[in-house]
Amino acid sequence: MSVLVQSVARILLAPILMVAFAVLVKGYADVGDGFAAGAIASLAILLQYVAFGPERTERMLPIRLLPAAAFAGLLLALGIAVAPLAGGDPLLTHPPGAGGEVVQLGSLELIGAVGFDVAIFVLVLGATLGIIHAIARQAEDEDEDEDPR
């Protein structure tokens, strides 16, 4: 890949991740939801894959545990969904309830449902990365098989 693509890709990594995070957190107030955020984040990493190739990207970025984190995200989402049962509320009763106090962080509102979105974010990121990695590794293994020939 040409140097131009590589440098642009490297520069773009952080902003794209910021955008993903913004979409995640702003999901409740504006366009966006957990899934879109996760997919955008994975696109950022996919861009690195395309620009730098799989081995270099996997060496550069700390993404080893992300596919496993997908299952952690799933469990977290399940936990958040099931946790209200302990208090006698039906499933998916996010705190705070209707008309309750909302914790504000600047202009961001932190409500229970955002935790659910975060879990989905982690899950989608991990899942897509797992798929990308599997395909990339498959290509590598194939090249290795062809080399002796």
Partner 1 sequence: MNLILALAIGVLFGCGTYLLLKPDLFRIVVGIVLIANAANLALMSSGLGRGQSPIRPLGEGAVSDPLVQAMTITALVIGFAVTALLLCLAYRIYVTSHTVDLDELSHAEARYERELEREEVSV
Partner 2 sequence: MSERLRGRAAAHDLPAGAAILAAAAGFAAVLWGWSQGGGVLELPWAPTLDLNLRFELDGLGALYTLLATGVGLAVFVYAGRYLPGHLAHQRRPPSHAPRFYGLLVLFMVSMAGLATAQDLVLLFVFWDLTAVASYFLIAYDRHEVASRWAALMALLVTGVSAVLLLIGTLVLYAEYGTFSVPELFQRAQAGGMLTLAGGLIAVAALAKSAQVPLHFWLPRAMTAPTPVSAYLHSAAMVAAGVLLLGRLYPLIEPSEALLDGLLVVGAASIAVGGVTALTRDDMKQLLAYSTFSQYGYVVFLYGLGGAKAAAAAAFYVVAHALAKSALFLTAGAVTEATGGAKKLSELGGLARELPLLAAASAAAAATIAALPLTVGFFADELFFAAALERGPGAAAIAVAAAGLTLAYLGRFWAAIFLGARRKAGRVPIAMLAPVAALAACVVVGGVWAEPLSSLAAAAGESTVRAPASASVAYHLDARAENVMAAAAWAIGLALLALPGSWRALARSAAELGSRAGPERLYGGGLRRLNELSDRVHDLEVRDLRTRVAALLVPAGALALLGLLATPTAGSYRVEGVELGDMGLVLMLVLACVAAAAATLPRRHLSLALVLATLGFALAGVYAFFGAPDVALVAVVVETLLALLVLGVLALVPAQVLRREANIQVRGSRRWRDPLVALLSGAFASVLAWSALSRPAPERSVAAAHVELASDAHAKDVVTAILADFRGLDTLGEVTVVAVGMAGVVALLRRGRLW
Site residues (vs partner 2, CB under 8 A): 23, 27-36, 39-40, 42-43, 46, 50, 64-65, 67-68, 70-71, 73-74, 77-78, 81, 91-92, 94, 96, 98-99, 102, 109, 111, 113, 116-117, 120, 123-124, 126-128, 130-139, 142
At its nearest, how many Å lie between partner 1 and the CB of residue 101? 19
> Please, which residues bridge with residue 109 across strands?
104
The residue (of 6 and 111) whose beta carbon lies closer to partner 2 is: 111
Q: Does 71 interact with partner 1 (rule: CB under 8 A)?
A: no
Please say whether the dihedral angle defined by the alpha carbons of residues 45, 65, 132 and 38, taken in this order, is positive or negative.
negative
Question: Would you state the structure tokens that stand for residue 105, as one six-digit string?
Answer: 């962080």
**CA 127 to each of CA 16, 70, 89: distance values in angstroms, whole numbers, following the listed order:** 18, 6, 31
Residue 137 touches partner 1, criterion: CB under 8 A? no
Q: Which amino acid is at 114?
A: V
Distance of CA 16 to the CA centre of its chain: 12
Task: Give yes or no for residue 131 binding partner 1 (CB under 8 A).
Answer: yes
Residue nearer to partner 1 on the CB measure, 115 or 130: 130
CB of 10 or CB of 19, closer to partner 2: 19
Nearest approach, Cβ of residue 29 and partner 2 (Å): 5
Spatial distance between the Cα atoms of 126 and 65, rounded to a whole number of angstroms: 8
Q: Please tell me the distance from the alpha carbon of residue 133 to that of residue 67, in angstroms, as a whole number.
A: 9
The minimum distance between CB 40 and partner 2, in angstroms, equals 6
